Structure 1
Amino acid sequence: MGAQLIDGKAAAARLRADVAEAAAMLPRKPGLAVVLVGDDAASQVYVASKEKAAAKAGFEGRVHRLPADSSQNAVEEVVRSLGADDAVDGILVQLPLPKGLNEDAVIACIPTEKDVDGLTAASAGQLVLGGEGLVPCTPQGSMLLIRDELPDLSGKTAVVVGRSILVGKPLALLLLEKNATVTVAHSRTKDLGAVCREADVLCVAVGRPELVTKDMIKPGAIVIDVGINRVERGGESKLVGDVAFDEAKEVAGAITPVPGGVGPMTIACLLRNTVVASARRQGVAVPEVVAD
């Protein structure tokens, strides 16, 4: 019969509507500041999308654009000034930064309570401890899609392929928090196919086009493909995931497409984090429509 398609666009639209409703409940509009250094074309597109989404959700948003030759001190000073601004609830530094800039040092300037991308060491620590830190957007979006398909993960086997600090590691922690039995696979894993075939929930985030094929998927498994890779085929450029979608959908129970799966949820979760951060900073309860 083929897998159920997990529609990330529709899920993101529902979440954005909830975020807008939550924002309207707060005493003041949530404030989101984006720092964009340089003129990287892809970053410009991503930031424009975030700016548009924030405005549509009823946020006070502003993009702080800095030239590519900005010094480390100049970039850090902008981030620190936003950290001290009471009207700013969330700070997002668009990555990657131009060569020569220390990304870790810039991210470290973001106050934990405004870290809407969940990238600081303090946010990572809160995730490990099960605290109230802001969860990285892509893993959070992945979990929301999984929850729609399988509300109770207790006793389920989950495999995360990829151990990056941006996706793999936080996603594994989130799955553990929901009582799944979790295995993290990576480039040194022996017999990756055998490991993947144990998964009731298989999440792939390695940046290798169509690494996971149908013979690596347990029949009926939920497959979350976080990868997005541009490949040339037949003289045309095409976006594909880390999972060979056309063959995987014959085996999986449910699967995210690329594009249109996890990607749309990332921006929606950025907005969700911002409204949560704003509620906490304004000293009011997080509106139920966006509470976990």
Structure 2
Amino acid sequence: MQLIDGKALAQKIRQEVKAEVEVLNREHDIVPGLAVILVGNNPASQAYVKMKAKACKEVGFYSIVHEMPETISQEEIVATIEMMNANPRIDGILVQLPLPEHIDTNRILEVIDPAKDVDGFHPYNVGRLVTNLDGFVPCTPLGVMKMFEAYDIDLQGQDVCVVGASNIVGKPMAALLLNANATVTVTHIYTKDLKAHTSRADIVIVGVGVPGLIKADMVKEGAVVIDIGINRLEDGRLVGDVDFDAVAPKCSYITPVPGGVGPMTIAMLLSNTLKAAKQRIAR
């Protein structure tokens, strides 16, 4: 069993991004800019935004956080996004999800300029992903693909079971895997017999927010297991969606929680923002 060290890989990617930012600044006088919209006072969202701002500073990005009250109107959020769409210093726009219930999330995401959609959630970029064209890919699935690449895990012809069908993780993950010629099964809350699908998969990727959902008897010997889930238990511990201690001995590769997929998500956000900034040169 080999651990997939997302923390070390993410640090390597950050260093590469920082080096490219220095070149971009020196040769083209461009500093990549990321704007984040944070609505309300969700502690998890606040923590994520703080981590993203810190990461931006480390690699030399310009970043700004628009903090808005829970009671903000949809029109005010739209106006803020349109302002950032027009701001030449901003290369990437990120709306921290989830949004309050009175806000139409799809409408908000559609307002973002697809060229600044570094989260990869705009329908334009979703369409380009599904048709295997270049665009912005959601950060967490993209981070998982970088892990496969870094550890020379070949996807072609492999049976992959994706547990979870969200627009943020499950669906884009499935599209990326299909583009890599894997055979993909997507399971979700209405799947009748989850174990039947996971136990025959060469690779299991899970991200549903249910601690310990994947047990040892649900994974075959030698499988690769990617745990995207992150859950805080009552005793304060962070755990994934996989019963790690029981499952790990059966795996060829497995990601830990914390220190697995989580750091890769922010690294991919930096990478996507850098990509958007480079597109300024072509304009």
TM-score normalized by the length of structure 2: 0.94
Separation in structure 2 between the aligned mates of residue 149 and residue 202 of structure 1, nearest angstrom: 16
Contact 2:148 2:154 in 1 (8 A): no
| SS of residue in 2 equivalent to 1:44 | helix
Tell me how far apart the structure 2 counterparts of residues 60 and 10 of structure 1 sit (CA, whole Å).
24
2:258 counterpart residue number: 259
Q: 2:187 aligns with which of 176, 185, 188?
A: 185
Alignment counterpart, residue 217 of structure 2, candidates 215, 222, 225: 215
Where do 5+ consecutive residues of structure 1 fail to align? 285-292
Q: Please identify, of 94-103 and 14-23, the stretch whose mean Cα deviation from structure 2 is larger.
A: 94-103
Match of 2:19 in 1: 21
Gaps of 5+ in 2: none
Q: Tell whether the 8 Å contact from 1:29 to 1:58 is kept in structure 2 after alignment.
A: yes
1:275 Cα deviation from its structure 2 partner: 0.3
SS at match of 2:142: helix
After superposition, give the CA deviation of every residue in 1:169-212 in whole Å (9 maximum; x if it has no partner): 10011111111111112223333212112211110112211111
- The offset of 1:132, in angstroms, is 1.4
Structural RMSD (CA) = 1.4
Structure having the larger proportion of residues in helix: 2
Q: Work out the CA distance in 1 between the residues paired with 2:120 and 2:238.
A: 26
Matches within 5 A, 1:1-292: 3-26=1-24, 27=28, 28-232=30-234, 236-283=235-282
The CA deviation at 1:151 is 4.1
Q: Is the 8 A contact 1:146 1:222 kept in 2?
A: no
Q: Which runs of 4+ in 1 moved over 4 A?
A: none
User: Please, which moves more after superposition, 264-273 or 223-232?
Assistant: 223-232
CA offsets per residue over residues 216-241 of structure 1, 9 Å max, x none?
11211110001112223xxx232211
TM-score normalised by L of structure 1: 0.92
CA-to-partner distance for each residue in 1:75-100, whole Å, 9 max, x for gaps?
Answer: 11000110111111100111122332
The letter of the residue matching 1:32 is L
Structure-1 separation of matches of 2:20 and 2:153 = 23
Checking the alignment, whether the CA contact within 8 Å between 1:228 and 1:239 is kept in structure 2 is yes
CA distance in 2 between counterparts of 1:200 and 1:213 reads 15
Once the two structures are superposed, residues 29-80 of structure 1 have per-residue CA deviations (whole angstroms, 9 ceiling, x without a partner) of 1111111122222222111111110111111111122222221111110001
- How many residues are matched? 279
